[in-house]
Chains A and B, each alone.
Chain A
């Protein structure tokens, strides 16, 4: 895999490599402007391929002024981790983001790594069935460290940060900021879609990330109860809902949707725009605003309707999605409402086969169009701004499409879709083209007056085989199941279930995290603290020997001890081993929940068919810019320092990166 990385280093019109420059910034913020386009999941190999085909003319145009580099990603290369490296200039030992899932060692339950709800200091007054809050619960960002734009803002740089991942709730007091990955839907989940059918034979059920329901029927009207947030003002916290009425035309493929803010006539195959919905907490007194997009899949013979997760309405946000608080409403006022939930491309609806691959492309296209509108507006502002100014803007489309299109674009995939429509087959080429068009617009609008940087947090790799890490630990004698442990499948619920903690020395939960069951640290720990490191080393060594009997390939290529790769005050919170799988492998669906499957490996037959949560050398990101670069192999944390350096701002303690950019005297874009 390292050979692949070396080969990529020479891609593009890179400036001759030299020694990295020491950071010696002054305190005077130079009169400069910079735009950073954060393209989640942009992959150097695909970028090279598409450039060769002539699909990325604007990327080539940008590189011609400056340079291109493969950008080293985080370990593990998961988005919350990688973006936090970039945001803080620290590794996970400093910022404390180690995996999508973190583990509470006291109760052995996972929690979302990025944010947590802190209950109000004083509980509510309970009057009958009502709970009257004296003060509200608070959502807190769990990422540690200083965001680089806090330093820029402190140096009087005009800062705008749009949809930076791992920034919910957004850092206050440092320019304008709209939250991104980590932002929940209005129900407080990572996104829960709904689907309604009028087919009498349809069976209502829940699927991962969605609720499938049969319409209620009243005469010629179909009723869809869209679930909202729990009513925390009631003692029993019942789930709120809004009922939409749907009236199918008896002859034509069209339906009238009533409810929410207004009526809409929708043809089969069409998407609505945003429909505002209000969930009543206290009749006539308290409501919470949300919004949904609806896709009518068919009207006859049965009406089938997809309803997006209920998004926080940016026109009247029920949660803190921007800083200052009026920034999100201002944006919505200028460009219209937009998705506010994290990773809004509805991969779950595709995995559940509620949306087809083409419908998924349509829906993710809506997300992309909204992002373009937001960017257009911010670009106008940026051009008009006085120096110094900084704009970060994030695009999720490449990442979320690549995850789902892997099986459509890769004939070697075990779940290859033989009969994909041409549009689906060409979807990744088209998506890269679309991002290139975005870049073209930036270059046309900004001209030579600003530094333009395009970067990604990681690239992409294949996800052919699921690695059941807990099953491997069991076979190797480190994990023991109880005699009554039930067999597991990908759909099994529960976390770390069936484990006999009195005899288990190591276990895995999350996508790349392996924990030693340490006495006094884990709830049921048995391994003496003094033996922890030796045991971790032993397991890491044995993991390197795990090969796939199907093809002889190594399953794990980079098992790293936390002490070897992390530095900082959060080190003790890290998993003991960060498991970097080989290209083609990823933690199984069961392993991610801490489940122990009955086999070591199996094919990945899910629509989620490409991934990047593996060996960081197998999924590096990209960095290209109209700034010339000196560093031959920059890391995300180097880019952080490079941005600060561009504005003459000193890095803070703990940032060990070195700017990847050449000194300003040799930069051409500003001359």
Chain B
């Protein structure tokens, strides 16, 4: 694990993560956290698609 780093997190959060990682079938909390963070980072900058927005906004009287 030469390329890994450690971070500190609150114990209560760790307990919650442990619970959720078990429910979701991850082999370890580490694996779960890394996966969750990867997803979160990938999602930054992404919002709903143009089509989804059109669908959402089409009832707004101010727009056509």
Between B50, B57, B58, B62, the greatest number of chain A beta carbons within 10 A of the residue's beta carbon is seen for B62
Indicate whether B48 reaches chain A with its CB closer than 8 angstroms.
yes
- Contact status A112-B47, CB under 8 Å: no
Beyond A125-B24, A491-B64, is A109–B59 a contact (Cβ under 8 Å)? Answer: no
The residue in chain B whose Cβ has the minimal distance to the Cβ of A587 is: B62
Beyond A104-B47, A122-B36, is A589–B63 a contact (Cβ under 8 Å)? Answer: yes
Please give the residue numbers on chain B whose beta carbons come within 8 Å of chain A beta carbons, in ascending order.
20, 23-25, 36, 39, 43, 45-50, 53-64
Min C-beta distance of A350 to chain B, whole Å:
9
Bound together, the chains give a CA A493 to CA B59 distance in angstroms of 14
- Contact status A109-B58, CB under 8 Å: no
On chain A, the residues within 8 Å of B45 by CB distance are: 104, 106-107
- Contact status A190-B60, CB under 8 Å: yes
- Contact status B53-A110, CB under 8 Å: yes
Indicate whether A461 reaches chain B with its CB closer than 8 angstroms.
no
On chain A, the residues within 8 Å of B25 by CB distance are: 125
The one of A107, A134, A343 in contact with B61, judged by C-beta atoms closer than 8 angstroms, is A343
Please give the residue numbers on chain A whose beta carbons come within 8 Å of chain B beta carbons, in ascending order.
100-101, 104, 106-107, 109-112, 116-117, 119, 121-123, 125, 134, 184-185, 188-193, 208-209, 309, 343, 347-348, 351, 400, 403, 490-491, 493-495, 511, 589, 592-593, 606, 608, 611, 613
Min C-beta distance of A100 to chain B, whole Å:
6
Bound together, the chains give a CA A208 to CA B61 distance in angstroms of 9
Bound together, the chains give a CA A371 to CA B49 distance in angstroms of 35
Between B45, B46, B55, B63, the greatest number of chain A beta carbons within 10 A of the residue's beta carbon is seen for B63
Number of A-B contacts (CB under 8 A): 93
Q: A110-B53, A189-B57 are in contact. List 7 more A-B contacts (CB 8 A).
A: A100-B60, A107-B45, A111-B47, A122-B36, A125-B25, A185-B59, A511-B62
The residue in chain A whose Cβ has the minimal distance to the Cβ of B43 is: A119
Min C-beta distance of B59 to chain A, whole Å:
3
Interface of chain A: mostly helix, strand, loop or mixed: loop
On chain B, the residues within 8 Å of A189 by CB distance are: 55-59
Beyond A107-B45, A134-B20, is A494–B50 a contact (Cβ under 8 Å)? Answer: yes
- Contact status B36-A100, CB under 8 Å: no
On chain B, the residues within 8 Å of A348 by CB distance are: 58-59, 61
On chain B, the residues within 8 Å of A191 by CB distance are: 59-60
- Contact status B20-A347, CB under 8 Å: no
- Contact status A209-B24, CB under 8 Å: no
- Contact status A347-B61, CB under 8 Å: yes
Min C-beta distance of B9 to chain A, whole Å:
14
The one of B39, B43, B50, B58 in contact with A209, judged by C-beta atoms closer than 8 angstroms, is B58
Beyond A188-B56, A190-B56, A493-B54, is A109–B62 a contact (Cβ under 8 Å)? Answer: no
Between A100, A101, A208, the greatest number of chain B beta carbons within 10 A of the residue's beta carbon is seen for A208
On chain B, the residues within 8 Å of A106 by CB distance are: 45-46
On chain B, the residues within 8 Å of A123 by CB distance are: 39
On chain B, the residues within 8 Å of A121 by CB distance are: 36
Min C-beta distance of B21 to chain A, whole Å:
9
- Contact status A592-B53, CB under 8 Å: no
The one of B23, B39, B49, B57 in contact with A112, judged by C-beta atoms closer than 8 angstroms, is B57
Bound together, the chains give a CA A208 to CA B58 distance in angstroms of 5
Beyond A109-B47, A495-B53, is A608–B39 a contact (Cβ under 8 Å)? Answer: no
The residue in chain A whose Cβ has the minimal distance to the Cβ of B40 is: A121
On chain A, the residues within 8 Å of B48 by CB distance are: 109, 111, 117
Beyond A111-B48, A122-B20, A134-B20, is A608–B61 a contact (Cβ under 8 Å)? Answer: yes
On chain B, the residues within 8 Å of A110 by CB distance are: 53, 57
Beyond A125-B24, A134-B23, A490-B64, is A495–B55 a contact (Cβ under 8 Å)? Answer: no
On chain A, the residues within 8 Å of B20 by CB distance are: 122, 134
Bound together, the chains give a CA A309 to CA B25 distance in angstroms of 40
- Contact status A592-B62, CB under 8 Å: yes
Bound together, the chains give a CA A100 to CA B56 distance in angstroms of 13
Beyond A109-B50, A110-B53, A494-B50, is A613–B59 a contact (Cβ under 8 Å)? Answer: no
Min C-beta distance of B46 to chain A, whole Å:
7
Min C-beta distance of B18 to chain A, whole Å:
13
The residue in chain B whose Cβ has the minimal distance to the Cβ of A105 is: B45
Min C-beta distance of B36 to chain A, whole Å:
6
The residue in chain A whose Cβ has the minimal distance to the Cβ of B20 is: A122
The residue in chain B whose Cβ has the minimal distance to the Cβ of A209 is: B59
5 pairs across A/B with beta carbons < 8 Å?
A: A100-B62, A117-B48, A403-B61, A495-B53, A608-B62
Between B49, B55, B58, the greatest number of chain A beta carbons within 10 A of the residue's beta carbon is seen for B58
Bound together, the chains give a CA A122 to CA B36 distance in angstroms of 7
Bound together, the chains give a CA A101 to CA B58 distance in angstroms of 12
Bound together, the chains give a CA A593 to CA B54 distance in angstroms of 10
Min C-beta distance of A422 to chain B, whole Å:
25
Min C-beta distance of A135 to chain B, whole Å:
8
